[in-house]
Amino acid sequence: MPHDWASIAQFLGPMLGRVDDQSRDVQLLLVSSDVELAAALAASAVKLTEGRNMGIIAATSARRAARLIRIRPAQVIAATPDAVAELLKAAALKLEAVRMVAIAWVDELIAQGATTALENLMTEIPKDASRTVVTAEVSPAVEELLERYARRARRVVAPTNSADQPLPIEFVTTSAESRLGTLRRTLDAIDPASAVVFVRDRDSDVRVRDLLQSLGYSNDDAPIRAGLTAAPGTELVVLFDVPASREELREAAGAAKRVIALIQPRQLTSLRSLAAGGSVKPFTLADSGARARDRDARVRAELRELLEQGHFGRELIALEPLLEDYDGIEIAAAALQLAERERATMVVATSAVMSPATSAPREKSVGPMVRLFVNVGTRDNARAGDLVGAITNQGGITSDDVGKVEVRESHSIVEVSPGVVDGVIERVTGTTIRGRRAILRRDEQRAPRDGDRAPRGGDRGERGAAPGPRRYPPKTGGGGRGGRERTPPRRGDRE
């Protein structure tokens, strides 16, 4: 399902219809990827249950939610996995009566590396509770999670239609609260002769109409208006809300000459799916583009290559709060400055380890390899190449610093050079390997190898040496026998 606040009602409405208003126990748990989505889920639930006596709480703060639950229990709770864990730990929330659980959007949870927290939560959910999993895209990691928590579930997907034609769409990244300002800047930059602003939500419709009226488009025959469909020949359609299906997009913008979507970063995957193969390109606002025109061609080429090859999940969600105050291209420019600053620091550090006399790079640290425990194994579909790639890329080392890799069912053991072990643990811990949040630590309990144990009953010579007959030193004085073997003296005998 496309990641759009207005589309929440499609899966939430039927679930709310099954909630018993007479029971004050928690019956519906909405697991969200972040607090903003938890608030949106709760807000949609309030609208859908208007007129019903139903308690709904968005646990955007576990402490506040715990206090409210004790005062007045709620039938519907919307929270992140971490917030639910805090409520359970404080004994403010009990899940025995939960009849339904919805996880939205699970692809975001996977991108954030929150699968461990989700696993811990799902063990507390009653086994007979129904499960609804919402995702914007079906990736291998999502398939694995579905197999674990919703095996053989009935799948509801946007129907494909042979009549769907590729539709080119431009987009501007913004936050939910900043869309009005971005809409105004878009209209100022293009100044279309005719335009329709597509809105699906009642609140969005009111906000957009008020903005258009303040800009001078107040009459019914104004060239720019809010609506659901565009007449043939319309110069521009601005998607203030993201359509829920290709059919809705075709009705809204199929007759327009140009389409620009105002989206949050997390909605980009859904927008590409709605385009049905049409080009999806960013639209750069003039004032933002002027701030970034001083970038040289080499940096742009590097960024273009990364954009074409990369898949971004956690990074997009991490940057989204900045869209409250800045445009997406301004955030990208700031990130580029940080990258260039880090690159300059690395150049200085590399120069510092060069010998002044020979200009030779620093030699690789010597010593036995250090074994690292990694909480990723074959059950996560991890291979040795995945671990080596993550450790070298995220840890900032080369493959020469990586030794033997043992991939086991629940974890892996990776050997690294002693000089880089602390940096690898610090940099790689918290990153994602095969959809799982990685945790690295020193493997202190190393299994004994052949020859590691010293022989019993004999002198401790070199490790691994086989036990042999005991030799005694020659006698000092009298006819010594050199190094000749002797039997051990019996008790009471004199040497």
pLDDT band at 295 (very low <50, low <70, confident <90, very high): low
Binned at pLDDT 50, 70 and 90, residue 149 comes out as confident
Q: What is the reported pLDDT for 172?
A: 93
Burial of 51: CB neighbours in 10 Å, binned 0-12, 13-18, 19+: exposed
Chain segment 326-349, per-residue pLDDT in tens? 878 778 878 877 777 776 666 545
Half-sphere exposure of 80 (CA within 13 A, CB side): 20
Task: Note whether 372 and 443 are within 8 A (CB).
Answer: yes
The pLDDT, as a whole number, for residue 5 is 61
Highest mean pLDDT among 237-241, 312-316, 397-401: 237-241
Tell me the C-alpha distance between 184 and 197, whole Å: 11
In the structure, what pLDDT confidence band is assigned to residue 177 with cuts at 50, 70 and 90? confident
Residue 368 has pLDDT above 70, yes or no: yes
**Phi, psi of 328, rounded to the nearest 5 degrees:** -60, -40
Per-residue confidence (pLDDT) for residue 43, from 0 to 100: 87
Which residues in 56-201 belong to E strands, given as ranges?
A: 56-58, 76-79, 100-104, 130-133, 169-173, 195-198
Cα 167 to chain centroid, rounded: 29
10/214: higher pLDDT = 214
Which one, of 437, 344, 343, lies nearest residue 390 by Cα?
437
Place of tokens 């955030």: 331
Please give the distance of CA 386 from its chain centroid, rounded to a whole number: 17
Q: What share of residues in the chain are helix, strand, coil (percent, to 5)?
A: 40, 15, 45
Specify the pairing of strand 280-282 against strand 412-416. Answer: unpaired
Question: Does residue 81 surpass a pLDDT of 70?
Answer: yes
Least confident segment among 85-99, 180-194, 268-282, 458-472: 458-472
pLDDT above 70: residue 458: no
Q: What is the DSSP letter of 154?
A: P
Distance CA 405, CA 393 (A): 16
**Strands across the sheet with 28-32, in order?**
56-58, 76-79, 28-32, 100-104, 130-133
Q: How confident is the model at residue 447 (pLDDT cuts 50, 70, 90)?
A: very low
More confident residue, 318 or 487: 318
Res. 321 pLDDT band, cuts 50 70 90: confident
Asked if 249 contacts 274 with a C-beta cutoff of 8 angstroms, the reply is yes
CA distance 447 to 454: 15
- Model pLDDT, residue 310: 66
Give, for 110, the enclosing helix (H) or strand (E).
helix 106-111
Name 330's Cβ contacts closer than 8 Å, sequence gap at least 6. Answer: 288, 291, 292
Local confidence band at 24 (pLDDT 50, 70, 90 cut-offs): confident
> CA–CA separation, 369 vs 45, rounded Å?
56
pLDDT (0 to 100) of residue 412: 93
For residue 160, what are the contacts with CB-CB under 8 A and spacing of at least 6? none
What tokens appear for 325 in the block?
Answer: 């105050």
DSSP states of 342-363 as a string?
Answer: HHHHHHHHHHHTS-TTT-PPPP
The whole-number pLDDT of residue 324 equals: 81
**Mean model confidence pLDDT for the chain:** 80
